[in-house]
Chains A and B, each alone.
Chain A
Amino acid sequence: MALGVGCSAPPGRALENKTGAWRVFKPVFDPETCNRCGTCAQVCPEGCVHETEEGTFEPDLDYCKGCGICEEVCPKESIRMEKEEK
């Protein structure tokens, strides 16, 4: 593939980098206690918390770095960070 003139590139290529591999802790979302406020999705620095069809939320583990912000902000304590077994 030819070099992008002037060191340029079209959108989308960052998605090739699956940052989920960085993770030590994994977020576990409990749809039972979720109040569907959407804060977790709003404040994830990766933008990788997505709404399910039921209106609850789940992480995209391909990109989740396991930072724990979602656990900290959830008003219902419905997200827990767990050490990931690899």
Chain B
Amino acid sequence: MMEIMEGSHAVAEIVKRCRPQVISAYPITPQTHIVEALAQMVADCELDAEYITVESEFSALSACLGASAAGSRVYSATTSQGLALMFEVCFNVAGMRQPIVMTIANRSLGAPLSIWNDQQDSISLRDSGWLQFYAEDNQEIADLHMIAYRVCEDHDVLLPAFVCFDGFILSHTYEPVDLPSQEEVDAYLPAFTPYHRLDAEAPLSMGMYATPEYYMEFRYEVDRAMHRAKETFIRAGREFGEQFGRDYSAFVEGYRLDDADVALVAMGSICGTAKDAIDEMRDAGKKVGLLKIRTFRPFPGPEIAEALKSVSTVAVLDKNISFGSGGAVGTEVKAALYGSGAAVYDYIIALGGRDVRKRDIAAVVDLAEKGKGDLFYGLRTEVL
């Protein structure tokens, strides 16, 4: 059913339909509307879940881990400082192979403190073993939650996932969203069947420690699971398309890419602005296209190389920075395109919620065409 709703509410509504048994989350701007909406649903008897009002994000994810290990489907949401506080637990959850799904309402990291959007938070945990999906709009963020639970809980995968959407830009924006009914979600997402669980009938020690004799193999297993997740995602995305009419079987999506001379590469809501800018540039005769990355982990290197094989100039938009190196997406795209002969440029853009307009996208394309890249776009040099 099509409804105009705030991104946060779309997330809450879909999460409700995914039937988590335990919700454990700590409020943090700009995720607060999600956790508040879920609390109201529990209070209104709409959602039959245990809602733990934890005392910090660190505890939020730790409680999710316990509940998941005991056999419940769980849910949490966070961003920025909260996700940073969960750093230790994130690695622990992935290593313990618990299929926790967590919404990230992407927000910049302090210092300096900022409540506004960029993608530094989730990207900074790219080593952790969590799958990472990025939504372009509120329809995608709703859909990706269902797909995430499907993929994560698959016994071939058993890894947690960040389902990411840009804070404020999507979380606090009203868009039309086609929300499935409870029956439709139940048909797509069956009840959680844990691979194993804490159970007095079948005791198990979970989270033992590993000496050098074993540790490496356990890490290899996580990496293998991450690679297996690609197949699982394709299958889950295709079946989603068959049931709901919106196909998610691709890790990347091209927009007017076929004959492009310059290709932009980006993740998240900036893709929407980029598409509008591309339409304008195309009208003016410029052959520009976009490659949207939907899954950042597992990183779709071969798929990116394939999609961009005929493009001579690539401009990556990075809403993050790895200090002393470059943008994370740009770095990994460059690695994927190694040997292709394309000129790949990285643009650090829109950090801390700085607005990106169509003319900014056009300016980036202009810079790329002139061979000027690997820079911070749009610096206010007058304040430096």
Contacts and interface: CB of A to CB of B under 8 A. Distances in A.
Let me know if chains A and B touch directly in the complex, using CB atoms closer than 8 Å.
yes
Interface of A: 3-11
Interface in B169-217: 195-196, 203-210, 214, 217
User: Looking at chain A's contact residues, is the secondary structure mostly helix, strand, loop, or mixed?
Assistant: loop
25 contacts: A3-B214, A3-B217, A3-B218, A5-B97, A5-B195, A5-B196, A6-B95, A6-B97, A6-B98, A6-B206, A7-B95, A7-B208, A7-B209, A7-B210, A7-B214, A7-B218, A8-B196, A8-B206, A8-B207, A8-B208, A9-B205, A10-B203, A10-B204, A10-B205, A11-B204
B5 interface: no
A11 B207 contact: no
A6 B209 CA distance: 10
B96 interface: yes
Interface string B68-88: 000000000000000000000
User: Looking at chain B's contact residues, is the secondary structure mostly helix, strand, loop, or mixed?
Assistant: loop
Size class of B's contact patch?
Answer: 10 to 19
Interface of B: 95-98, 158, 195-196, 203-210, 214, 217-218, 221
A6 B129 CA distance: 12
B208 A3 contact: no
A3 B95 CA distance: 13
A70 B261 CA distance: 83
A3 B221 contact: yes
A3 B218 CA distance: 7
Given A6-B95, A10-B204, 12 more contacts: A3-B217, A4-B208, A5-B97, A5-B158, A5-B195, A6-B207, A7-B208, A8-B204, A8-B208, A9-B205, A10-B203, A11-B203
A10 B203 CA distance: 6
Nearest to B203: A11
Contacts of A5: 97, 158, 195-196, 221
A68 B171 CA distance: 65
A7 B96 contact: yes
